[in-house]
Chain A
Amino acid sequence: MVSFFEILSPSFLLFPALLGSAILAFVCPLVGAHLMLRHRVFLGLTLPQVAACGVAFTFWISHAVGLSHGTGGERLLAMVGSLVFTLVGMGLLAYLDRHATGSPESRLAAAYAFASALTILFVVFNPAGELEILNLLKGEVISLSKDELKLLAIVYGVVYIGLVLFRREFLLNSFDRDLSFLLTGGGVQWSFWLYVLCGFSIAIGVIMAGPLLVFGFMVLPPLAARALARGMSSFLTMSSLIGLFIAIFGFYLSVRLDLPLGPTDVAFGCVMIFAIYAIQLVVRKSRGATALLAGLIILGVGCAVQKAQAPLDMQALGQNPVWLVSVRNSSGADLRLPDNNPLRSLVEMAGKISSDYRPTVMDLLRGALKRELQQRSVSVSFPEERDARFQSAPVDAQTASAMARAANLSGWLLLCEIRRWHTDGRSPLRTWVEMRLVRIDSGVISWQTQIQKTTPLVGAVRLDEVSADATKEILREAFGS
């Protein structure tokens, strides 16, 4: 199980994703804070949806003119669509703010509904690559490539520098537009530049991370900071720091609990806000209650921290053989590997399997387990070679040990179960594997582990390749490096 400090290490596989998430979380709250001060927080919800609509529109048009999906220019097109729609949408809303009657909130709500509807329609119009479009719209910061990370860092760096350099002008313009006009010579120009910076951050953020995460980071940290800050400087600083905190701990929770990053970050951010307001409320009521609440939180955190699971101690196996039972697939997914899997060809050539047989992830994992144990001088065998009842994987440890005793096996049974093994071809492979080592004579489980991994598709484009990467990771955690 990955530790908190492990995810902070640059050598951690998903470190680029953490970095991307942290960049978003540091800058988006600043943008959101300015929108909040101007009572335009719903712009942070509407514009990401408008950006998503731009992405869907671009894909539809590119398909209509014959550009195929899956090309390198796809991402660039999506960015152009996102940016153009965001800036045009923002300009239109600004124009209506100045010239139309009615409340700005109702206009933003209508724009949100319109953009959402158009997004769905554009996706429906496009018969090809619907899945890819939906993935792109959903956004997955966890699958950021190095180039995308660089682009994100550059755009958000510029936005951050702009917001910091002109913080006084933007804040004065938000707080007192009349004084801003007198002292800086233009009230409208500062609003314009602020909204341009917002537009760029939203358009690029939506492509990299999806509308949910962008809106979440824009709104939640400033909301939390608002409860704590008394002044503008502290409000802006706290917004960014709280965003960073949510990003890092949300990321850790996501990796640890095998949850999707966006919803985890947003849910964690909401919990933080409730906690901050609850603590504030309690502090106002009484100090005793504060101490009690703090105690409960510490207790809760203590309980929530899972004990690290130790790797399998090879010494404990002694000289007894290990019977490696067929890996059980409880994921509900068809885990057959692609047709031209090189793993298959050798056994096929040897005539051991029929030509229509396709190996599975379970075969891959079991083979890797066997090799790993053999390398550590453990005697490993497949039980079905002794007793045909082991052709199918037993349901639980008791049943397995009973079957083994009936088959006159002795030593250990190693049971392995795949709970999850999923990727949609763009997002990282998420895996959840459970292993149990069972004494055959007593049926007692002497070691067990649950391993959850998120393996990025860096350099691996096929299920067999990324599955092989994931298997290595799983074995490293199960047996120690």
Chain B
Amino acid sequence: MAKAPALVTFRGANLGYEGAVVLQQVDLEIQPGDLIAIAGPNGSGKTTLFRTLLGFLPVLSGALNRNCALSEFGYVPQSSSLDANFPITAREVVEMGGYGRVKCYQGFPAGEKKRLDNVLNQVGLSHLAPRSFFSLSGGQRQRMLIARALMVGPKILILDEPLAGVDPESQKAIGDLLLKLNRDEGIAVFFSSHDLRMVRSVTSKVLRVDGGRVGWEEGPVADHPW
């Protein structure tokens, strides 16, 4: 049986901002059904890799191929990057994931509402949907953002530090959720963290980013102070 084409492929890519290279010679393939973590200290280039992958930044040199549309990427930003003064309910945040399919003259269609209820059930937070998004705890906000990404109907989930700033219980809940989505739904998951021990508890496929280079993590956890 032929192997499915990779969802994303980097070949000898240099990544960075306006000519300043942050990551050099990145070679990476993400296959359907992969569960990959990328770990490294703050400022090592994890977010740069994500932003390039999602098309927010151009590749400085080398190649980047995507085998799915950008609208099929479920992106989960850090909840702290969102404006906490925005008057918005959790339900409205999750609804945003469906905006790409709704025409401007339509209300929010019944099919989308059903999908919304489903993804809220998947993350186990239906009861919090009417509450103000920013009144939720860090872990709850993160799960709501995962629900928003699921609302897109993604082939791949990209999560920027989903485990940062949340309590251990929420970290476990989020980790379990990612595993479940990967195993049960077959969604490829690519997430970042600066906590390698925690990352190991979720997946064994770990990319290490440090010193401008990206490579598969093979050494013992204790080797890395971060």
Report the minimal beta-carbon distance from B79 to chain A, rounded to whole angstroms. 11
Chain A contacts for B71, CB-based, 8 A: 182-183, 185
Chain B contacts for A233, CB-based, 8 A: 92
> Cβ of B100 and Cβ of A230 under 8 Å apart?
no
Q: Does B87 contact A (CB under 8 A)?
A: yes
Q: Does B75 contact A (CB under 8 A)?
A: yes
> Cβ of A178 and Cβ of B99 under 8 Å apart?
no
Chain A contacts for B83, CB-based, 8 A: 37, 39, 175
Q: Does B59 contact A (CB under 8 A)?
A: no
Q: Does A15 contact B (CB under 8 A)?
A: no
Q: How far is the CA of A438 from the CA of B71 in the complex (A)?
A: 83
Chain A contacts for B102, CB-based, 8 A: 168
Q: State whether A175 and B99 are in contact (beta carbons under 8 Å apart), knowing that A181-B56, A183-B71, A231-B89 are contacts in the complex.
A: no
> Cβ of B87 and Cβ of A178 under 8 Å apart?
no
Q: State whether A231 and B104 are in contact (beta carbons under 8 Å apart), knowing that A168-B99, A178-B56, A179-B75 are contacts in the complex.
A: no
A-B pairs with beta carbons under 8 Å apart, 15 shown: A37-B83, A39-B83, A165-B105, A172-B99, A175-B82, A175-B96, A178-B75, A179-B97, A181-B55, A182-B55, A182-B70, A182-B73, A185-B71, A226-B87, A231-B89
In the complex, how many residue pairs between chain A and chain B have their CB atoms under 8 Å apart? 75
Q: Does B132 contact A (CB under 8 A)?
A: yes
User: Which A residues form the contact surface with B (CB < 8 A)?
Assistant: 37, 39, 165-166, 168-169, 172, 174-176, 178-179, 181-185, 226, 229-235
Q: Does B136 contact A (CB under 8 A)?
A: no
Q: Does B77 contact A (CB under 8 A)?
A: yes
Contacts A174-B86, A175-B88, A182-B73 aside, 17 further interface pairs with beta carbons under 8 A come to A37-B86, A166-B104, A168-B99, A172-B96, A172-B99, A175-B93, A176-B82, A176-B96, A178-B77, A179-B148, A183-B96, A184-B100, A230-B89, A230-B132, A231-B88, A232-B87, A232-B89
Q: State whether A183 and B100 are in contact (beta carbons under 8 Å apart), knowing that A175-B88, A230-B132 are contacts in the complex.
A: yes
Q: How far is the CA of A118 from the CA of B105 in the complex (A)?
A: 43
Q: State whether A183 and B56 are in contact (beta carbons under 8 Å apart), knowing that A172-B99, A175-B83 are contacts in the complex.
A: no
Report the minimal beta-carbon distance from A33 to chain B, rounded to whole angstroms. 9
Q: How far is the CA of A174 from the CA of B152 in the complex (A)?
A: 19
CB nearest neighbor in B for A165: B104
Q: Which of B86, B91, B132, B152 has the most CB of A within 10 A?
A: B86
Q: How far is the CA of A182 from the CA of B74 in the complex (A)?
A: 9
> Cβ of A183 and Cβ of B99 under 8 Å apart?
yes
> Cβ of A175 and Cβ of B86 under 8 Å apart?
yes
Chain B contacts for A183, CB-based, 8 A: 71, 96-97, 99-100, 152
CB nearest neighbor in A for B54: A182
Chain B contacts for A168, CB-based, 8 A: 96, 99, 102, 104
Q: How far is the CA of A426 from the CA of B91 in the complex (A)?
A: 51
Chain B contacts for A166, CB-based, 8 A: 104
> Cβ of B87 and Cβ of A230 under 8 Å apart?
yes
Q: How far is the CA of A30 from the CA of B82 in the complex (A)?
A: 21
CB nearest neighbor in A for B76: A179
